[in-house]
Amino acid sequence: MPRLHIISASTRPSSAGRPLARWIAELAAEHDAFDTRLLDLGEIALPFMDEPEHPEAGVYRHRHTKDWSATIAAGDCFVFVMPMYNGGFSAPLKNAIDYLYQEWQNKPVGLVSYSAGKTGGAPAIEMIRPVLGRVGLRPALRTLSVPAIESYVDEEGRFAPTADLRTRAQAVLDAVADLATTPEAERVSA
Amino acid sequence: MPRLHIISASTRPSSAGRPLARWIAELAAEHDAFDTRLLDLGEIALPFMDEPEHPEAGVYRHRHTKDWSATIAAGDCFVFVMPMYNGGFSAPLKNAIDYLYQEWQNKPVGLVSYSAGKTGGAPAIEMIRPVLGRVGLRPALRTLSVPAIESYVDEEGRFAPTADLRTRAQAVLDAVADLATTPEAERVSA
């Protein structure tokens, strides 16, 4: 089974994205297609990219980079659970991507955004696309953007989805599973 | 005279952006329009945004946020000297912007990008525009993108510009000075 890493991309202590990421991880664990792991960029606590060499070289000086490289190399596919700040993706997500290169190549990624407002962070998904292209991540066609994120977090800090959100989140996971079980070469020649 | 803060937006130890930012600061100091200060995000060393409140509230818990707020509130206009990583702006720059809100409002900003390749980071300038709009920064019409950045850094780590680069950098500073001395209301009604 492909190893799916769900990456929670906010490092703010009060982030409403954490309950959403935990819920996506639960859905993925119920999905019979994945071996699922939840990664929290707040816990991983990478510093700002501080390697002297370009990541394409794959020559890492720092322990935190070597650990992050091993973590991402172990993933076959990903879901980014991403906040939108000021109409764009968050700094911790961009930083985590920029540290590595080869480790991302040709791997599927599902994009789940959220925001306090009406867009659900969809503009942040659009903004990250060229970056994904540069490191060779393959975004799934289906995405999910959750508006008014705080309205879905209950008093115990759990994400309380509607049936519609559940259906759409499962569609993202299905799309990632589809990409993960279809090699790139096969898709091109199909 | 308007206080101009040049913000060097790479935190990598070997950044070629630092010599470029120092050179822009020298040009700005020679320019008779500004009281110039050079800020290095590597030295300022903000952590990833960790405030519980939304920046619009202006309620800051942490000492580093209060210091950064005071620094930016003291600037009348800015030049961002920005690297491009993977086709986009750097995480430290986005993070530094996302910490604050009111402190950026209605202030002019000049955009100077650089890259190892041919684009000089121009795509990173385009990618940051919606973010600038959200915090109310007013980008100057003239921008500068420096390709093959390493070819301009000499053995002493100084930026060695061509005459053309000097002319274009001065045009950016002129455009920022023009915005800084023309209030927004006056420009709208003109």
Backbone angles phi, psi at B4, to 5 degrees: -105, 125
Chain B CB contacts of A116 below 8 Å: 54
Specify the pTM. Answer: 0.95
Q: CA angle, A124 as apex, A67 and A15 as ends, to 5°?
A: 65
Which of B18, B46, B49 best tests the A interface by mutation, with the highest count of A CBs <10 A?
Answer: B49
Our CA-based measurement puts residue B98 at a distance from the nearest CA of chain A, in whole angstroms, of 7
Chain A CB contacts of B116 below 8 Å: 54
Q: Which residues have C-beta within 8 Å of that of residue A80, sequence separation ≥ 6?
A: A7, A9, A93, A109, A110, A111, A112, A128
Q: Are strands B138-139 and B108-114 parallel, antiparallel or unpaired?
A: parallel
pLDDT at B55: 94
Token pair for A143: 């995405």
pLDDT-above-90 percentage for chain A: 89
Cβ of B98 within 8 Å of Cβ of A90? The answer is: yes
User: Which residue of B lies nearest to A56 if distances are taken between CA atoms?
Assistant: B86
pLDDT at A182: 79
B90 touches chain A (CB under 8 A): yes
pLDDT at A186: 60
Residue A11's nearest CA partner among A82, A117, A77, A112 is A82
How many other β-carbons are positioned within 10 Å of the β-carbon of residue B138?
18
Chain A CB contacts of B48 below 8 Å: 11, 91-92, 95
Helix (H, G, I), strand (E, B) or coil at A101: coil
Average pLDDT estimate for B107-111 = 98
Question: What is the residue-averaged pLDDT of chain B?
Answer: 94
B11 touches chain A (CB under 8 A): yes
pLDDT band with cut points at 50, 70 and 90 for residue A185: low
CB A128 within 8 A of CB B131: no
Nearest-by-Cβ selection for B49 from A12, A97, A131: A12
pLDDT band with cut points at 50, 70 and 90 for residue B182: confident
pLDDT at A125: 98
Cβ of B91 within 8 Å of Cβ of A98? The answer is: yes
- What are the DSSP calls for B131-170, one per residue? HHHHHT-EE-S--EEESSGGGGB-TTS-B---HHHHHHHH
Question: What is the residue-averaged pLDDT of chain A?
Answer: 94
Residue A184 has pLDDT above 70, yes or no: no
Cβ of A97 within 8 Å of Cβ of B86? The answer is: yes
- Residues B85/B91/B96/B99 CA torsion (nearest 10 deg): 150
pLDDT in tens, A130-173: 999 999 999 999 999 999 999 999 999 999 999 999 999 999 99
pLDDT at B190: 46
How many other β-carbons are positioned within 10 Å of the β-carbon of residue A125?
22
Strand ranges (DSSP E) for chain B?
Answer: 3-8, 35-40, 77-83, 108-114, 138-139, 144-146
pLDDT at A15: 83
Average pLDDT estimate for A177-190 = 72
Angstrom distances, CA of residue B14 to CA of A8, A64, B115:
29, 18, 13
Q: What is the ipTM of this complex?
A: 0.93
Chain B CB contacts of A62 below 8 Å: none
Average pLDDT estimate for A83-108 = 97
Residue B186 has pLDDT above 90, yes or no: no
A26 touches chain B (CB under 8 A): no
pLDDT at B24: 98
pLDDT at B184: 65
User: Which residue of B lies nearest to A93 if distances are taken between CA atoms?
Assistant: B91
pLDDT in tens, A53-93: 999 999 999 999 999 999 999 999 999 999 999 999 999 99
CB A7 within 8 A of CB A39: yes
Residue A98 has pLDDT above 50, yes or no: yes
Beta-bridge partner residues of B139: B109
Residue B187 has pLDDT above 60, yes or no: no
Q: CA angle, B94 as apex, B156 and A131 as ends, to 5°?
A: 90
Cβ of B52 within 8 Å of Cβ of A14? The answer is: yes
